[in-house]
Amino acid sequence: MSDRYGQDVLSGDWQRPPKGRSADLPVELGIVVEDVTSGFVGEVVQVDPQMGMVVLEDRRLKRRSFPLGPGYWVDGKPVTLRPPAVAAAGPKRTASGSVAGPRERAKVAQPSRIWVEGRHDAELVEKVWGDDLRHVGVAVEYLGGIDDLKAEVDSFDPGPGRRLGVLVDHLVTGSKEWRIAQTLSKEPHVLVVGHPYVDVWQTVKPQRLGLDAWPVIPRGIEWKHGICEAMGWPHAEQADIARAWKKILGSVGTWTDLEPVFLGRVEELIDFVTA
């Protein structure tokens, strides 16, 4: 005999209208979840897959723990919270994108060297390519300018097994840097390459600093001071310039944060001195 009044109103999920079957959802930090039973709504701030628990924090910063599994809503849909997906194991990468090798004992530096113009250049190369260079035993040294580059190279006495790579700022046809590089163009164990930017600061993609493009600084204004002024950063003292560089360097995590033309020149030097 049929039930003229239908099924028991308290059976099943009577709190909400049905919205289909629950979907499995690997839980991630930052998603907003509602516990159906208690009505507690909060952001996922902690996940413990081993204990099978998730911690939610509501807008009043109150936290509560809940078990992974069914009984939750996300974006108005029923879900079953599952442990976070485990990323597939793969080769570790260095900041330059190279496959990271096993940990090794410190190596004695090879006779070959890479020279850069200044401290900022050296710090940037170290941050992105430091692991690679230590692996091959090549040291990076900064010159403090290249006005006396020819004499410095002669003093280094490059030769087979003692190669020298030099990275130069603003290496464009007709520039002072270009003329200096030309004096070493016939040295078989020396390679001088460069990027077109006024300073190594510009090799960092401007988007990493919230810019569409680096500011254009008029001639007659010291470039780094002009950049700091355009950015609204202090620039009265050298310490201000140093802090500005630290902020720029801090925006760099991997090779993807640098301009391709700079990446290519550094890789070219590393290949040259390790050939």
Q: What are the two backbone dihedrals, phi and then psi, of residue 168, each rounded to the nearest 5 degrees? A: -120, 140
Final residue belonging to a domain, choices 82, 104, 129: 82
Q: Please report whether residue 10 resides in a domain.
A: no
Q: Please report whether residue 154 resides in a domain.
A: yes
Final residue belonging to a domain, choices 42, 67, 82: 82
Q: Are residues 189 and 128 in the same domain?
A: yes
Final residue belonging to a domain, choices 65, 82, 99: 82
Question: At residue 168, what is the residue type?
Answer: V
Q: How many domains does the chain have?
A: 2
Q: ∠ CA 107-267-252 to the nearest 5 degrees?
A: 90
> How many angstroms separate the CA atoms of 54 and 16, rounded?
23
Q: Are residues 67 and 146 in the same domain?
A: no
Domain ranges, residue 117: 113-204+252-274
Q: Are residues 156 and 48 in the same domain?
A: no
> How many angstroms separate the CA atoms of 194 and 38, rounded?
63
> How many angstroms separate the CA atoms of 215 and 198, rounded?
12
| HSE-CB for 68 with a 13 A CA cutoff | 19
By C-alpha distance, which of 40, 77, 78, 72 is closest to 59? 40
Q: Are residues 46 and 132 in the same domain?
A: no
CB–CB of 118/198 below 8 Å? Answer: no
Q: Are residues 60 and 151 in the same domain?
A: no
Q: Please report whether residue 136 resides in a domain.
A: yes
Global pTM reads 0.65
> How many angstroms separate the CA atoms of 202 and 197, rounded?
6
CATH number, residue 135? 3.40.50
Tokens standing for 92? 């570790």
Q: Are residues 55 and 184 in the same domain?
A: no
> How many angstroms separate the CA atoms of 167 and 184, rounded?
13
Q: Are residues 76 and 138 in the same domain?
A: no
Give Rg (Cα) of the chain: 29
> How many angstroms separate the CA atoms of 266 and 106, rounded?
22
Per-residue pLDDT of the chain (275 residues; tens, 9 = 90+): 455 434 554 444 444 444 557 899 999 888 999 999 999 999 998 888 878 889 998 888 788 999 999 999 998 899 999 998 765 555 677 888 776 666 656 566 789 999 999 999 999 999 999 999 988 899 999 998 999 999 999 999 999 999 999 999 999 999 999 999 999 999 999 999 999 999 999 999 999 999 999 999 999 999 999 999 999 999 999 999 999 999 999 999 999 999 999 999 999 999 999 98
CATH number, residue 50? 2.30.30
